[in-house]
Every structure is written in structure tokens, then in C-alpha cells.
Amino acid sequence: MGIIKRASTVFLLASSLVFLTACASPQEKQDAKDGRVTLNFWSATNPTELDFARRVADEWNASQLNVRVVVQAVPTGQSSEEIVLAAVASRTTPDIYANASPAEMQNLIDANGLIRLDDFSDFKDAMSERMSPETLRRYQSPDSHFYQVAWKQNPVMVLYNTRMLRDAGIEKLPVTYSEFLTAASRVTGETAGVRRWMLVIDYLPIWYKRLFDFYPLYLAASDGKTLVDNRQVTFDNADAVAAFDFLRECFARGFVPRQSFQGDSFVKEQVAARFVGANVISYLDKILPADFEYDFAPVPRPDDMTGGAVTYADPKSLVVFATCEHPREAWEFVKFMTSRSNDLRLLEMTSQLPVRTRLLEDEAFADYFDSNPKMRRFAEQADRTRTLDSLAETQEIFDIIAGEFEAAVLYNTKSSEEAVHDAARRSQRILDVQ
Amino acid sequence: MRHDEARESSTFNNIPALNNATAIDNAGIVAGVTANNVAVENNEQDKKPNRFARIFRREGKERGERTEPVGYLMVLPYVLHTLVFLGYPLAFAFVLIFHRWNIYTPMRFVGFGNIRLLISDPLVWRALLNTLYFLLIHVPLQLAVALLFAQLLNQKIRARAFFRASFFMPVVVSGVVVTILWQQLFAFETGLINVALNSLGLTKIGWLTSPNVAMPAIAVMATWKNVGLYIVLLLVGLQGIPSHLYEAAELDGAGAWQKFRYITIPALNPTIILVLVLSTIGGFSLFIEPYVMTGGGPVSSTLSGILYLYKQAFVFGKMGYAATIGFFWAIIVFLVVMIQRWVVERTETERM
């Protein structure tokens, strides 16, 4: 008995020790050494953005005696959304995060992971310097507070290989469905054993892929109406059906290749068009031969519409996490990062657009757009963009849409009307659970 | 007749234990089943099938008043394990049914919201139909193939041990590895199966990309993966059939088919029930294959209940709805197994 008792005591002690050490992983703060406050900053993982963040931080650190900013890439994992949410749950978030996407915003807010930025008295002033009240409102949360600074956007447009279009007899970039389909029917085909297609779409039925085909097409067709309003689904309409029908026709008539390619099919001139964001420019300039001709146009819209098409902004926001012990300093750095000069640097280094209203009229950026005419296309588009609805259910709604897209567009097992209607009905049920 | 009864009861006593363990392709369970069957054999020889039960009862009476603390200490690990890994999760999952919770944010009470959603969710019913379709192909195929190979491997053939081991191999290999392997075989352009079809002048089949073919393809793959376990189970059963029955039948002039039909099949009946029940339960927990190969597509044709549950829980962070699906699924499995058992038992009594 004695032995058993002693053994069980030892066992209990040992296990509780393991348990305690596992729980109490102390969060090392690098403060103190020189008395400077340290702010940890998570940037996106791609090298150009990481370079940009490091440059900004270096400049800040050189001029600030009390606050030091340390830049890190978001730890890689399955997706940055999961990593960040996991960090929020375990309270191991950094102080500032640069790449909060609208799809994850509401989850971060619900998890009490973020601080309210409009608590800072100069928030409104700082924002009104950057964007119009109308744009600002799109980044407001349903509780009417602000948890994010809209930082940059990559409006979705269509990238065209202008030489391929010209060879097919198309001089003007298509802007309507019928113009696009006419061009597609001429470009798609086989000459001298080489097959060509009009448009490449990453058609895997994964929710976020639909942010770059269905969603911009729908925004264009609906003239900027998003999917949900006040927890009521609003996309059960002819505009969504039109977007579905357009995609359906592209697939049905063979304008989109249903195969995977070795390497980039656009760069290899197998495909003439692609849905892209502005950041593609810094990538294309690096790998394309000098004589490769390309240009951008808004996503196609229904024939009976006039004016420029609205598109998805694909925005990323700066947020300050609730674990931040020096929110005031973090806020100062956020303002520094979104200053005019750093916004210009963002353009130059990453070819991504700062969320600034009337960018083209701002003198600080005039030189840049004069020497980068292709970025001008995106800047022109930038004021006609929408983000996602502030919902925790965004991912799931897009997953439903992706499922219906697969059924109607890829496999032709139901009509566009049925697909849109089914997607809307299911989304509404999910929103109704609360 | 006593022979059959003893066997059957031993078979059914095993099922809850296997249920709890959930990992059906677990070599340990096979060993357990084998040992149990052997125990049955021994009991028969002793002609005292209830010896152990009697010992237990007697001891209980003798010690009735006295409590022995060591006893509690000895059952403690099992009790703790049950409470921590079964009781608590089960109770928590039940609570979750009425809540919305994504791990990160505080739980929110939603009443019957999740249940209402479940009833009106076409994908839940789709997953159920998919699973039934899977079972319809998988279970008979599994049984037929397992019977065939068990019969073959029970003959006196050369390198018998080698073959027995190799058919068991896929059971031991990780499901993900097997699935990735078959994914390569099933690939549309470069897969070995389609290349072979092509060279025979046949058209290629979209094994995993055609909504009509994907589920049967997965069922075939799952059969290949699991059949080794059932071969072993049936082999054990085959070896338990007394050889004098066959000898007597031969004297009476029975052919190979007649011996198989009138001796082997009836004698194997308990094992066949076990195989049926196990592969049905296994079929309801179909997950790795569609998760790795198809993600539930094309057009939800390979979406299984567990895959949908997983997506709800870990992709969309809806633990409450996932728990609701989980309970629903458990009820379905329970019902199906009850029906199976009822049908089998009824036919059993009819035969007698």
C-alpha cells in the first residue's frame, strides 16, 4: 500500500508539474535592456512586403529613441487566418499585424483580439486625411467602431496579353460580356499544334478562389452591391445569375482550360487573360521578356450597363492586438506606416495601392503614376471597389458559392438560377442561426 | 448448436469494445478478437462456458461487505480514462449542440438553431446518401473479397505466411499514404489505371473528377485498404471449423461448393456478422479518403458525414454545428447497426 501511495503521489506531482510548465509558457518581452519599448510587427510573408516593412521599421527605429519596432513574417502554416486566430486564442499575438483580411476581421473582433482604434482622439483626423467618409464607412464594424486602418488594396482587374488579342483581330480590350466572349471565341483555338485559351481560372472549389472570379463579376454586375445587408442575403438576383452565366459560358465553350499547366500559362502565352490584382505588376516585370505586351481592363460587366465596373478591393488592414501593452506607441507607428511618404514607398516597392481616396489627384504620387502608367489603371479602379461584408460567416458563404459554382459552372448539373437561389437560401439559413 | 451460440455471443460482446476504440484498423483489436475466439474454443473443451462468470459472482458475494481500496485504485486508470476522454467530451459536445462556438470567442446560446439548420441542410442529407451509396458498394465487395481470399489462404498453398502478411499490409500502412498512392493511380492524365486503359484502346475515366465515378472509386480503394483485416478475421473463423465436419460431408459425397455453402458459410456466420458490422461502422467514419483525394467533391459526390463535420468544425469554426452533426451521425450509426443486428438475428432464428 505504502509503495502504491508514494508512487501515486509522485505521479500526481510529476503530472501537475508538466501541466503547469505547459500552461505557464512565459511570454518573453524584449523590453528593458535599453529601456526602449519593443513593438512586434507581423508582416505578410512575401519578400517584397517583408522588405517594405523592414525598411519602414528601420527608418522608424532610427528616428525614435523610445520605441523599437521588430518586423517578423507571419509564422507560416496552413493559412495566415488560422495562425492569427490561434495566436489570439493563446494570447501570443504580436502588437501590430499588417495583413488582416476582411474575411477574418469579424472573427478577430468577436474574439476580443483587437483594440478599438477610434478610441484614439486623432483617429478620425488621421483617417479623413487618407480617405473619403464613404470609403471609411466600408471599414466600420457592425458595432459602429473601427478596429482597423484600411492600408492597401489590390483591386481585381483582368490582365490581358494584348499581342495575343491583336493577333486575333481584337484591338480594344473587352469590357462587356459579349465583347469578352467575342474576343474569347477568336483567341481560343489551335494553330500549328499550339493550343490557346482566352482565360485561365483557378477553378478549384475553395472559398477564397471565388473572391477573384465570381465576386468581382457580381460586384460589377450589381454595381457594387455586396452579398449581405444587415444579415439578410441580397444576392438572390439577376446580377448573380448573370455572373454565373458568364462563367458558365466561358467554361462551356472551352474558353477556359480545364487542365493544370507546368508553370505560368499566361507568361507562356497559352492563355490570354487572367483575373489579377495590382501586385501582379511587380511579379510580371521581374519575369516577362521586354517585348511581352500586356494591359489591364476592368472585369467584364453585362452588356446593358454603362460606366466603369465596380470590383473587389482585396484590401488588407493594419490592426493592433489587444495583447499590446503599449497601444499608444503602436498607434503612432500605424500612422507612420500609412503616411504619405510610406504609401509612396509601398507603391514603389510592392506595386500595391494604398487605400487613399483620389490617389491620382494627389501630387505626392503624380510622378510615380507618370512613370508607371499600368499602375494608373488600378488607381483609376481604386475608388470603385468594395470589400467584404463584416460577418463571421463570410468564409462559409463563399464556400457555399464555391460549391454551387462547381455544380453549375464546372459540371453543369444545375442552372445558374438554381445555383444562385440555392446558395442564397443556404447562406440565409446559416445567418439565421445567429 | 451450443457451438454457434457461444460463438455468436462472444462476437457481439466484442462489438461495444470495438466501438469505443473507434480505430477499427487496429492490429490490437484483431489480436483481441483472436484471443477471444481461442478462449471460446477452450471453454468448449472444458464444457464449462460460464466458468469465469461464476467465479466473479462468487467472489462478489464473499467480499460483499468489505471494500477493498486497492480495487478502486486498480480501476482508477480506466475510470479516469473514460471520464476524461469519453464522458467529458460527450457531455461537452452535447452542450455544444445548443451553442455557437469557434474556440476563440465566448460561447453563445442559440437554442435549437443548430438542429433547425441540420434538418434543412441539404449537404447533411447529401452526405448521408453518399455514405449509404459507399456502404452499398463497399460492404458486399469487402465481404466477397475477404471471403474469397480467406478461403484461398486457408488452403495448403506455398508461401502461405507471405501471402497472409502481404494482404494484411495495407491495413498497417497509414491511411494517408495509401490514399495518396491511389490518388496517383486514379490521376486522369498520368494515372497508371488510365494509362493502362488508354493502351488497351479504351477511353480514360475521370476516377476522381467525375461525380458518378468518384464514390465507387473511393469504395474500391477503401476495400483494398481494409480487406486484409477482414481476411484475418475470416481466417480465424475458418480455422475454428472442426475438420471432421468436412470429412463427414466428403463421405456423404458433398462437392466443394456444397461444403462451402452448407458448412463454411453457416459456421462462419458470427464472423460474417462481425465483418458486416465493423465495415458498416467503418464506412460511416469515412474521412481520410475523400479528405485527401477529393475534398468531398466533385459536386459534393464524395462528401462524407465526418468530412462535413470536420469542415464545419475546423474550416468554419462552428463547433456547435459540428457537434450537432456528430450526434446525428452517431444516432444513424446506432440505428443502422441495430437494424443489421435485428435482421441477422431474425434470419438466424428462422434457420433454426
Q: How many C-beta neighbours within 10 Å does residue A338 have?
A: 23
Contact check, Cβ <8 Å, A411/B110: no
Helix axes B160-172, B122-153, angle to 10 degrees: 170
> With 70 as the cut, is the pLDDT of residue B24 above it?
no
Does B352 lie at the interface with A, CB-CB under 8 angstroms? no
Distance between A396 CA and the closest CA of chain B, angstroms: 6
With a pLDDT cut of 90, the percent of chain B lying above it is 47
The DSSP output letter for B108 is: E
Residue B204 at interface with chain A, using a CB cutoff of 8 Å: no
CA gap B322, B97 in Å, rounded: 8
Residue tagged 506607441 (cell numbers): A329
* Whole-number pLDDT of residue B18: 39
Sign of CA dihedral B116, B122, B128, B132: positive
Residue A24 has pLDDT above 60, yes or no: no
Does the pLDDT at position B46 exceed 80? no
Q: Which residue of A lies nearest to B121 if distances are taken between CA atoms?
A: A426
Q: Which residues of B touch A85 (CB under 8 A)?
A: 104, 317
Q: How many angstroms separate the CA of residue B115 from the nearest CA in chain A?
A: 9
Residue A63 neighbours by CB distance under 10 Å? 8
* HSE-up (13 A, CA, CB side) for residue B88: 7
HSE at residue A370, side-chain half, CA atoms within 13 A, is 7
The residue-averaged pLDDT of B307-312 equals 94
User: C-alpha grid cell for residue B17?
Assistant: 469494445
> What's the mean per-residue pLDDT of chain B?
82
pLDDT band of residue A19 (cuts 50, 70, 90) is: very low
Q: In 3-state terms, what secondary structure has residue B26? A: coil
pTM of the model: 0.81
Q: Which three cell numbers stand for residue B292?
A: 485527401
Q: What is the pLDDT of residues A72-89, one digit of tens each?
A: 998 876 677 778 888 888
User: pLDDT digits over A188-234, tens only?
Assistant: 998 888 899 999 999 888 899 999 999 999 999 999 999 999 999 99
With CB atoms and an 8 Å threshold, state whether A111 touches B315.
Answer: no
Contacts with A399 from chain B: Cβ below 8 Å: 311, 315-316
How close, in Å, is residue A422 to chain B by CA atoms? 10
Measured between beta carbons, the chain B residues lying within 8 angstroms of A112 are 105
Separation of alpha carbons B131 and A368, rounded Å: 59
CA A376, CA A351: separation in Å to the nearest integer? 11
Nearest to A433 among B73, B114, B317 (CB): B114
**Residue B154 · residue B235 · CB < 8 Å:** yes
> A129 at the B interface (CB within 8 A)?
no
Out of B73, B113, B211, closest to residue A433 by CB: B113
Pick from A144, A146, A174, A147: nearest CA to A159: A174
Is A197 in contact with A271 (CB distance < 8 Å)? yes
Encode chain A in three state secondary structure.
CHHHHHHHHHHHHHHHHHHHHHHCCCCCCCCCCCCCEEEEEEECCCHHHHHHHHHHHHHHHHHCCCEEEEEEECCCCCCHHHHHHHHHHCCCCCCEEEEECHHHHHHHHHCCCECCHHHCCCHHHHHHHHCCHHHHHCCCCCCCCCCCEEEEECCCEEEEEHHHHHHCCCCCCCCEHHHHHHHHHHHCEEECCEEEEEEECCCCCCHHHHHHCHHHHHHHHCCCCCCEECCEECCCCHHHHHHHHHHHHHHHCCCCCCCCCCCCCCCCCCEEEEEECCCHHHHHHHHCCCCCCEEEECCCECCCCCCCCCEECCCEEEEEECCCCCHHHHHHHHHHHCCHHHHHHHHHHHCCEECCCCHHHCHHHHHHHHHCHHHHHHHHHHCCEECCCCCCCHHHHHHHHHHHHHHHHHCCCCCHHHHHHHHHHHHHHHHHCC
Cell of residue A227, nine digits = 452579398
**Residue A90, pLDDT score:** 85
> Which residues have C-beta within 8 Å of that of residue B278, sequence separation ≥ 6?
B18, B24, B230
Chain B environment of A111 (Cβ under 8 Å):
102, 104-105
Question: Hey, what amino acid is at A153?
Answer: Q
Range scoring the smallest mean pLDDT among A23-32, B231-240, B258-267: A23-32
Mean predicted confidence (pLDDT) in B235-239: 92
Interface test with A, best of B209, B308, B316 (most A CBs within 10 A): B316
Burial of B159 (0-12, 13-18, 19+ CB in 10 A): exposed
Asked whether the beta carbons of residue A429 and residue B121 sit closer than 8 angstroms, the reply is yes
C-alpha to C-alpha distance for A197 and A187, rounded to whole angstroms = 6
Which residues in chain B are closer than 8 Å to A430, comparing Cβ atoms?
Answer: 117
CB pairs A-B closer than 8 Å:
68
Indicate the DSSP class of residue B310.
H
For B:224-263, CB contacts with A below 8 A are none
CA geometry: angle B39, B45, B48, nearest 5 deg: 80
Q: How confident is the model at residue B15 (pLDDT cuts 50, 70, 90)?
A: very low
Question: Residue B351: which pLDDT band, with cuts at 50, 70 and 90?
Answer: low
> Scanning the structure block, which residue is given the C-alpha cell 463563399?
A398
Q: At residue B59, does pLDDT exceed 60?
A: no
Contact with chain B for residue A399, Cβ under 8 A: yes
Provide the pLDDT for residue B350.
Answer: 65
Higher pLDDT, B87 or B3: B87
Q: Calculate mean pLDDT across residues A150-167.
A: 95
At residue B51, the pLDDT reads 53
Quick check: A307 pLDDT over 50?
yes
| Helix segments in B106-255, DSSP class H | 113-120, 122-153, 160-172, 175-186, 192-199, 214-239, 243-251
- Residues linked to residue A311 through DSSP beta bridges, in sequence order: A385
Nearest-CA distance from A185 to chain B in Å?
A: 26
User: pLDDT tens digits, residue range A365-420?
Assistant: 999 999 999 999 999 999 899 999 989 899 899 999 999 999 999 999 999 999 99
Which set of grid coordinates corresponds to residue A106?
469579424
Tell me the average pLDDT across B4-21: 41
Q: Which of B100, B118, B311, B315 to mutate to test the interface with A (most CBs of A within 10 A)?
A: B315
Alpha-carbon gap: B206 to the closest alpha carbon of chain A (Å): 13
Name which of A153-157, A415-419, B23-27, B104-108 the model is least confident about: B23-27
- For residue range A280-303, list pLDDT tens digits in order: 998 898 899 988 999 999 999 999
Minimum distance, in Å, between the CA of residue B121 and any CA atom of chain A: 7
Torsion sign over Cα B186, B189, B194, B196? negative
d(CA A81, CA A97): 11
CB contact (8 A) between residue B116 and residue A85: no
Candidates B72, B299, B303, B312: best to mutate against A (most CBs of A within 10 A) is: B299
Residue B282 confidence (pLDDT) above 60: yes
Nearest CB partner across the interface for B110, out of A396, A411, A434: A434
Nearest to B297 among A112, A406, A434 (CB): A406
Q: Which three cell numbers stand for residue B282?
A: 467503418
Count of alpha carbons within 13 angstroms of residue B187, beta-carbon side = 12
Q: How far apart are CA A43 and CA A333, in angstroms?
A: 14
Can you tell me whether residue B59 is helix, strand or coil? helix
Distance CA A380, CA A369 (A): 11
Chain A's closest residue to B74, CA to CA, is A4
- Average pLDDT of chain A? 89
Residue contact B211–A399, C-beta within 8 A: no
Q: For residue A114, with 0-12 CB atoms within 10 Å meaning exposed, 13-18 middle and 19 or more buried, which class applies?
A: buried
Mutate which of A405, A433, A434 to disrupt the B interface (most B C-beta within 10 Å)? A433
- Residue-wise pLDDT for B85-139, tens only, equals 999 999 999 999 999 988 877 888 999 999 999 999 999 999 999 999 999 999 9
Contact assessment for residue A117 and residue A316, using Cβ atoms and an 8 Å cutoff: no
Give the residue from A194, A204, A128, A137 showing the smallest Cα distance to A167: A194
Picking from A112, A429, A433, the nearest residue to B100 by CB comes out as: A433
Contacts 24+ apart (CB under 8 A), B346-349: B348/B8, B348/B269
For residue B103, what is the nearest residue in chain A, using CA coordinates? A89
CA distance A82 to chain B (A): 9
Q: Which residue has the higher pLDDT, B263 or A20?
A: B263
Q: Could A411 and B211 be called an inter-chain contact, meaning their C-beta atoms sit closer than 8 Å?
A: yes
DSSP β-bridge partners for residue A247: none
In this predicted model, which residue has the larger pLDDT, A110 or A33? A110
Residue range A101-111: average pLDDT? 88
Q: Averaged over B323-347, what is the pLDDT? A: 89
The length of chain B is 352
Query: How close A395 gets to chain B, by Cα (Å)?
Result: 7
The whole-number pLDDT of residue A52 equals 95
- Grid cell, residue A368, equals 510615380
DSSP B171: H
Determine, for residues B114 and A403 on separate chains, whether the beta-carbon distance falls below 8 Å.
no
Asked whether A343 and A275 are in contact (CB, 8 A), the reply is: no
**Residue A259 forms contact with B (CB below 8 Å):** yes
Contact flag A434-B113 (C-beta cutoff 8 Å): yes
**Lowest mean pLDDT segment, chosen from A181-185, A232-236, B249-253:** B249-253
Residue A77's pLDDT is 67
Inter-chain touch A434–B211, beta carbons under 8 Å = no
- At B139, the amino acid letter reads V
In this model, does residue A173 exceed pLDDT 90?
yes
**What span, in angstroms and rounded, lies between the C-alpha atoms of A150 and A128?**
12
> What part of A 2-31 touches B (C-beta under 8 Å)?
4, 8
In this complex, do B104 and A413 lie within 8 Å of one another by their Cβ atoms?
Answer: no
What percent of chain B stands above pLDDT 70? Answer: 80
- A83 reaches B (C-beta below 8 A): no
Query: Which residues does B185 contact at the CB level (< 8 Å), separation at least 6?
Result: B191, B192, B193
Least confident of A8-22, A51-65, B77-91, B288-302: A8-22
B190 reaches A (C-beta below 8 A): no
In terms of pLDDT, which residue wins out, B151 or A8? B151
